[in-house]
Structure 1
Amino acid sequence: MSTDQADVVIVGAGLAGGITAATLTAAGLHVVCLEQGGWPDYDKARADFPDYEVTADRYWARDPNTRRAEADYPVDDTDSDISALMWNGVGGGTVLYSAKWHRMTPGDFRVRSHDGVADDWPLSYEDLEPYYVEAERQLGVSGLAGNPAYPAGEGPPNPPVPIRAAGRRMAKALNELGWHWWPGGNAISTRDYRMLSPCRQHGTCMSGCPEGAKASTDLTHWPAAIDRGADLRTGARVTRVLVRGDRATGVEYVDREGRLHKVEARAVIMCANGIGTPRILLLSATSEHPDGLANSSGLLGKRLMMHPFGAVAGIFDEDLATHSGSWGQQIQTMHFYESDPARGFVRGAKWGLQPTGGPLGLTRSYPWGQSPEPMWFENFHDTLASRLGHAPMWSLIAEDLPHEHNTVTLSSDLADSDGLPGARLAYTVDENSKRLMDFHVARAVESFEVAGARETIVGPHVRASGWHLMGTAVMGDDPARSVTDRFGRAHDIPNLFIFDSSTWVTSGGVNPAATQAALALWSSDAFLRQGQLSRRDLRTGAAA
């Protein structure tokens, strides 16, 4: 076994890992990052070619059980209402995300105080606000400041994506209903900005951005981190975090040739997502930590949240060019975001208006594949032609409350290509989320009817929608009721950190990338400010 040394070893090169590596290398730390996948190959981004829809899933499939790349590990979702989606490679989920960008609201951090459910976060919107601003600057976010759903403050650095014909139609309908809307926020650049190019409105954000307009950390953070000395090792599957007593001593990993390696480090930072992080910490169990690392609370792998997702499309007589456009969102509404006791449920959802793609997308994507109506309908070609370009869609992100019976554990049946156990999910959408979704679907249908749609297609509960993996190593002030503190430091092992969405207390009802990026900056900044690895300690070899 070869052995290397570093100040910090990071596990995972996605959103949290890229931001953390860039921040710590800028401070002069020697960082090694281990990523089980490789770099995305944008030569396989076929948006400019007529075979785009036919070939997209050969490389850009979102479900690791479908993709089955060497870097993937199997996820047993037999007992889960939602299938987990992820990209195992440099850039992580940002390679495939739609790039919708929303901060959580102040109330999202105070769910227990406001609604008597779940828990309050040990930090506030005000704590994160400067980190939201910095994350938006680093990722070239586009949008418009002044949304009254949020406190006043600085907005994104780039103007919003164009509001096209469908967006204008639906904005007018919301005005008629008296419902609030706002130009969409997206991690998609609308002009030349640092390393990003302006979006050309392909509508292929989730299957390879061909011009580099979408902010993924393989573009926005890793090049600079590597220039500063970060050692990013791809094809490096972590087998366990090494510990001695209550201290992490490093990480063991296996390369693509099956050789075993060890990286000794003064701190280990987990950034492997809400399934990958608990999986590795459970794999790292020892006689001193028989239930997995950092698990004295018993909460490691519990409280999984995945954001129940619904989709409603309206079909119009007019051609609204919905085969293209930013796949993020042209406009958004949070009109029904806050709790209203009269509705029979707590919390809410965010809507984002987006295109519906080409002819294949209209047969196999949401909401079409989830609609109770038969997909292979009578007069198929005529019906398909009447929908192509005529069908904008509201995507509905519903708040997901944490429950300890929603879990990530190790699979006893499935293993990855190196023989390590895969992950097993047990997850049920609760009654609150079901009622919440039913309400929002009905309102979305109403908005299309007011806008003049001749038909609506509803996918009320989309199974293949688990992009957002949160809550499985919850943060908190009480070690008996949480895995890490408010900065992501494990209560049980003081030099083990978790900077990814595993630490989330509640999920909010918005896409999580903005808050996860802000949290990675918040945690990295605290890591440096609190002297977890001071330069003096590094020079003298003293313990961190």
Structure 2
Amino acid sequence: MTDPVVDRLTIALAKVSASSLTSPFDAVVVGGGSAGITAARTLAEAGKHVALLEAGPLSLLTHVQSTDLRFDPGLVRSVQQALSYSPQLSGGGTFGSLIGCLGGRGLFWNGAAPRFSADDFEGWPISIGELNNHYEWAEAEFRVTTEYSAGRLSELLIARLKSAGLDARLGPYAVDCHQTASGWLGGTVGNGLAPLLRTTAVTTSGLISISTRAFARKILLSGDTASGVEAIDLATGAILQINARSVVLAAGAFESTRLALASGLPTPHNLAGRFISDHNFVRAYYPMNPADYLANTPEVSIIWIPADKMRGYQIEIHLPSDNLFLAKENGPWAPDRGPYYAAMVRSFAPIQPRADNFIEALPTDAPGSYRVTISLDADDQALAARQVAALEETRRALGADPAQVQNLPLGASHHESGGLIMGHEPASSVTDLYGRFWSTKRLIVCDSASWPSTSPANPHLTIVAIARRQAIQLASEL
């Protein structure tokens, strides 16, 4: 039995392959998450024909919290787990989890959408000034706002935090707060798939051909130029060729790196796969005084304390707990010191990229077929200790009760980057300022694999902004 939604939005890989053999696509984009969708859409808006390959299925058409699944957190976890997979760690165990579906992690992220600061681009071949227009585009498309949690509760808590010397402010969040009126239905959580469906690139113009369950196993070369990909139809097991004038890697930092490594691309300076990074992730759920909430009216608060050069970490505060989109639909609003109304306080700090933090491809044709080697050095460990102390400082400022602080394992943040880092010259980087491989023409990285470092801030908005920038450049060159 066929699914009319899937049939309408996606095309069988065999058909995409056959079409490309007679008329190559302008670009084949590997990865259907926020970076891949943004790159494909940008190229299509420039009139380019694009094949978008996603190894996972078409599962959801919007963010999971924009559906009524949000009223059953256990069901949300079940959906996410069914789409998740984890690569190996070199010391045993697994590294975090990735989401394999059209829309990727962007259908499950929590919506925090700050920009990086100017200092975060130190050591990059680009500056924040080159991203301002792309940040504005991403914020508009993902409906980034501070209005969602603006109100009495946030004002109260921000005043307490500021009195303690903390630079607290309303957190930018990807939530559509437009008034529901005249055909506009507000309230959705920002993600890459929804704005794609708002365009005609898939449903009308046909400029984007999406294939799901399509695993890219190898980049094809014609001399020193990328000429397409070899992909496996995971539904049939068939190995098929998709010809294109360019190849865009946007499968997520480590998956994009895996594909480059598995393809045997020339890497004169042995940098591919190295200088990976992630976030050290510290979190606690602090019980709040029930009197801080209104007694009979649901409230939410999203507060952001940005990093600076002195601290090197950011802090986010969410109330009530992880329930920003639930509005207590599963029972009466009755604030207490229990877990539902706790302050979820978390901190992110980047692991410094080093040559001895790397990934290596494994000889398996499946998502997650690579091994991750990553560890904390002494400076990383010292910063992690400061993060734990900062959570306690934040708790005291909030007037919350003590609770256990969790120092989560690497990979838990879902914020990995690096592996195909960009730079000023081939001797010290794999790609240039537009994500173009130094060694291979028409091969471009549009996700965080090209980042030489990362920010303490949530990377999602910056992933989208940079994908947009790199795709605009590629469109101009095609």
Task: Mark yes or no: TM-score above 0.5.
Answer: yes
Q: What SS class does the counterpart of residue 463 from structure 2 fall into?
A: helix
Contact 1:141–1:188 (CA<8 Å) still a contact in 2? yes
Residue 401 and residue 81 in structure 1: after superposition, are their counterparts in 2 closer, same or farther (change >3 A)? Answer: farther
Contact 2:302–2:317 (CA<8 Å) still a contact in 1? yes
Q: What SS class does the counterpart of residue 47 from structure 2 fall into?
A: coil
Give the letter for the 1:295 counterpart: T
Residue 133 and residue 48 in structure 1: after superposition, are their counterparts in 2 closer, same or farther (change >3 A)? Answer: closer
Pairwise CA distance, 1:165: 6.4
Match of 1:338 in 2: 308
Match of 1:228 in 2: 205
Residue 86 and residue 74 in structure 1: after superposition, are their counterparts in 2 closer, same or farther (change >3 A)? Answer: closer
Match of 1:493 in 2: 440
Match of 1:289 in 2: none
Give the letter for the 1:495 counterpart: R
Q: Is 1:33 matched up with 2:52?
A: yes
Match of 2:460 in 1: 513
Match of 1:275 in 2: 254
Distance 1:101 1:50 in 2: 20
Pairwise CA distance, 1:172: 2.4
Deviations 1:172-194, CA, capped at 9 Å, x for gaps: 22121122111110112112599
Q: Is 1:242 matched up with 2:220?
A: yes
Q: What SS class does the counterpart of residue 20 from structure 1 fall into?
A: helix
Give the letter for the 1:239 counterpart: R
Distance 2:402 2:69 in 1: 31
Deviations 1:25-73, CA, capped at 9 Å, x for gaps: 1111111111111223369958747971332322113xxxxx4x5xx66
Distance 1:273 1:317 in 2: 41
Deviations 1:96-155, CA, capped at 9 Å, x for gaps: 111111111111112xxxxxxxxx100101111111112111222113xxxxxxxxxxxx
Match of 2:97 in 1: 85
Pairwise CA distance, 1:88: 1.4
Match of 1:187 in 2: 174
Residue 44 and residue 526 in structure 1: after superposition, are their counterparts in 2 closer, same or farther (change >3 A)? Answer: closer
Match of 2:418 in 1: 471
Q: Is 1:350 matched up with 2:314?
A: yes
Contact 1:132–1:514 (CA<8 Å) still a contact in 2? yes
Match of 1:424 in 2: 371
Distance 1:195 1:179 in 2: 42
Q: Is 1:303 matched up with 2:280?
A: no
Residue 15 and residue 42 in structure 1: after superposition, are their counterparts in 2 closer, same or farther (change >3 A)? Answer: closer
Residue 476 and residue 312 in structure 1: after superposition, are their counterparts in 2 closer, same or farther (change >3 A)? Answer: same
Alignment of 1:106-185 (within 5 A): 106-110=118-122, 120-143=123-146, 160-163=147-150, 167-185=154-172
Contact 2:89–2:373 (CA<8 Å) still a contact in 1? yes
Give the letter for the 2:192 counterpart: T
Pairwise CA distance, 1:303: 1.0
RMSD, aligned α-carbons: 3.0
Distance 2:423 2:461 in 1: 21
Q: Is 1:56 matched up with 2:7?
A: no
Gaps of at least 5 residues in structure 1 are: 62-66, 111-119, 144-159, 200-212, 286-292, 341-346, 362-384, 534-544
Distance 1:501 1:519 in 2: 9
Give the letter for the 2:162 counterpart: N
Contact 2:219–2:260 (CA<8 Å) still a contact in 1? yes
Contact 1:91–1:218 (CA<8 Å) still a contact in 2? yes
Deviations 1:439-477, CA, capped at 9 Å, x for gaps: 232122122223322323311344551411211100012
Which of 79, 101, 105 is matched with 2:117 structurally? 105
Q: What SS class does the counterpart of residue 369 from structure 2 fall into?
A: strand
Residue 51 and residue 269 in structure 1: after superposition, are their counterparts in 2 closer, same or farther (change >3 A)? Answer: closer
Contact 2:61–2:193 (CA<8 Å) still a contact in 1? no
Distance 1:181 1:301 in 2: 37
Contact 2:359–2:370 (CA<8 Å) still a contact in 1? yes
Give the letter for the 1:267 counterpart: S
Q: Is 1:94 matched up with 2:106?
A: yes
Distance 1:222 1:73 in 2: 26
Give the letter for the 1:93 counterpart: R
Q: Is 1:460 matched up with 2:413?
A: no
Q: Is 1:406 matched up with 2:383?
A: no
**How many residues were matched structurally?**
440
Q: What SS class does the counterpart of residue 9 from structure 1 fall into?
A: strand
Distance 1:166 1:450 in 2: 14
Contact 1:330–1:354 (CA<8 Å) still a contact in 2? yes
Distance 1:443 1:509 in 2: 14
Distance 1:325 1:79 in 2: 44
Distance 1:196 1:296 in 2: 53
Give the letter for the 1:236 counterpart: A
Residue 459 and residue 277 in structure 1: after superposition, are their counterparts in 2 closer, same or farther (change >3 A)? Answer: same
Q: What SS class does the counterpart of residue 467 from structure 2 fall into?
A: helix
Distance 2:168 2:391 in 1: 13
Which of 443, 456, 481 is matched with 2:428 structurally? 481
Residue 316 and residue 487 in structure 1: after superposition, are their counterparts in 2 closer, same or farther (change >3 A)? Answer: same
Distance 1:222 1:271 in 2: 19
Q: What SS class does the counterpart of residue 308 from structure 1 fall into?
A: strand
Residue 237 and residue 325 in structure 1: after superposition, are their counterparts in 2 closer, same or farther (change >3 A)? Answer: farther
Give the letter for the 2:191 counterpart: S
Match of 2:329 in 1: none
Residue 491 and residue 222 in structure 1: after superposition, are their counterparts in 2 closer, same or farther (change >3 A)? Answer: farther
Pairwise CA distance, 1:198: 3.1
Give the letter for the 2:244 counterpart: A
Q: What SS class does the counterpart of residue 354 from structure 1 fall into?
A: strand
Match of 1:216 in 2: 191
The TM-score normalised by the length of structure 1 is 0.74
Contact 1:94–1:216 (CA<8 Å) still a contact in 2? yes
Give the letter for the 1:138 counterpart: E
Q: What SS class does the counterpart of residue 332 from structure 1 fall into?
A: strand
Deviates most, 40-49 or 402-411:
40-49
The TM-score normalised by the length of structure 2 is 0.84
Pairwise CA distance, 1:294: 5.0
Residue 444 and residue 166 in structure 1: after superposition, are their counterparts in 2 closer, same or farther (change >3 A)? Answer: farther
Contact 1:239–1:252 (CA<8 Å) still a contact in 2? yes
Pairwise CA distance, 1:313: 2.7
Residue 56 and residue 260 in structure 1: after superposition, are their counterparts in 2 closer, same or farther (change >3 A)? Answer: same
Give the letter for the 1:79 counterpart: G
Gaps of at least 5 residues in structure 2 are: 1-13, 327-335
Q: Is 1:389 matched up with 2:366?
A: no
Distance 2:276 2:158 in 1: 35
Pairwise CA distance, 1:488: 0.7
